């Protein structure tokens, strides 16, 4: 059974979009995934996103995706929300992944905006509605036009929010004004999907965060959220400013690349990347160490 949630926080407050550990030869490392999931939940995560972009979902097979969800559920499913990324740019394929995740026991679904084929807003509405109609699981939308090429307009978010199973949005749009209007008009549970904007999005109504840097600073992120919600904006701001080097360093290049490098530096399961992603250079790794140290991360 998943941890207690409320309509205001259907997936908890602090979630990390987990990388997918691989073995040295590039195979799925299920033992490593379980150890990493346990570490992240022990650190304070309310939930984990599995098979998202940070999980290298474009280069894992459907079978691997299912195996990974099963493994993480076995490791932490009784004390954290396990949310399966099922978004593709093919509605039928997304529905297949959603139904498989439900059968496996996932607690929720993350559905990213269809990418590359650039559908109009009516296409987005029908796509997300079809996914939500296909299972009984709660759905978190994922609005990231920098990757998908198409934003989910505020009017579309309001219409999607009418669906009883579309309950949340992960916002990586980078537009606080549009976020403010969408939060106010849609009533969706809003999660920051951009670590640099975690605190600003909380200030306009977000209920939590879905983080990449949570791999290395979950306790700080949890303290930031709790301080803000407790009314101690000064403390929340101090934590935000302390973490600025981490936010910067972890996104000097593609986030999966730096996250796996950081985990490896800490002796945690990560493994290699699958092409077209590539390892950090020695120079980039040295810079990452500087950035992490400046934000108080122990290596």
Known binding residues are: 54, 210
Report, in this order, helix, strand and coil percent for the chain, each rounded to 5. Answer: 50, 15, 35
Cα(82)–Cα(46) distance, integer angstroms: 9
Q: What is the rounded (10 degree) CA torsion for 150, 196, 217, 202?
A: -90
Active-site residue among 170, 173, 191, 260? 170
For tokens 């036009």, the residue is 145
- Is 191 an annotated catalytic residue? no
Cα(16)–Cα(221) distance, integer angstroms: 10
DSSP β-bridge partners for residue 210? 15
H helices, E strands: number in the chain = 13, 8
Cite the annotated binding site for pyruvate by residue number.
54, 210
- Is 170 an annotated catalytic residue? yes
Cα(200)–Cα(95) distance, integer angstroms: 34
Active-site residue among 142, 173, 191, 260? 142
Cα(116)–Cα(230) distance, integer angstroms: 41
Q: Report the catalytic residues.
A: 142, 170
């Amino acid at each position: 059974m998943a941890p207690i949630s409320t309509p205001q926080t259907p997936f908890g407050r602090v979630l990390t979009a987990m990388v997918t550990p691989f073995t040295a030869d590039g195979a799925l490392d299920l033992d490593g995934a379980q150890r990493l999931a346990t570490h992240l939940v022990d650190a304070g995560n309310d939930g984990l996103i599995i098979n998202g972009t940070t999980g290298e979902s474009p280069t894992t097979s459907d079978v691997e995706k299912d195996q990974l969800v099963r493994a993480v559920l076995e490791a932490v499913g009784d004390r954290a929300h396990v949310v399966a990324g099922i978004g593709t740019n093919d509605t039928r394929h997304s529905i297949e992944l959603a139904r498989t995740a439900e059968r496996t026991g996932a607690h929720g679904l993350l559905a990213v905006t269809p990418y590359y084929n650039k559908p109009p807003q009516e296409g987005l509405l029908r796509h997300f509605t079809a996914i939500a109609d296909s299972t009984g699981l709660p759905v978190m939308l994922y609005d990231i036009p920098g990757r998908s090429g198409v934003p989910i307009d505020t009017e579309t978010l309001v219409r999607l929010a009418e669906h009883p199973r579309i309950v949340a949005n992960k916002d990586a749009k980078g537009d606080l004004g549009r976020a403010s209007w969408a939060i106010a008009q849609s009533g969706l549970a809003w999660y920051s999907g951009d670590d640099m904007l975690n605190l600003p999005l909380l200030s306009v109504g977000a209920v939590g965060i879905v983080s990449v840097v949570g791999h290395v600073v979950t306790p700080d992120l949890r303290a930031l959220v709790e301080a803000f919600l407790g009314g101690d904006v000064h403390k929340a701001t101090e934590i935000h400013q302390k973490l600025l080097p981490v936010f910067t360093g972890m996104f000097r290049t593609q986030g999966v690349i730096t996250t796996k490098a950081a985990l490896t530096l800490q002796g945690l399961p990560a493994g290699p990347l699958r092409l077209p992603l590539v390892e950090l250079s020695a120079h980039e790794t040295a810079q990452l160490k500087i950035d992490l140290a400046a934000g108080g991360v122990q290596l």
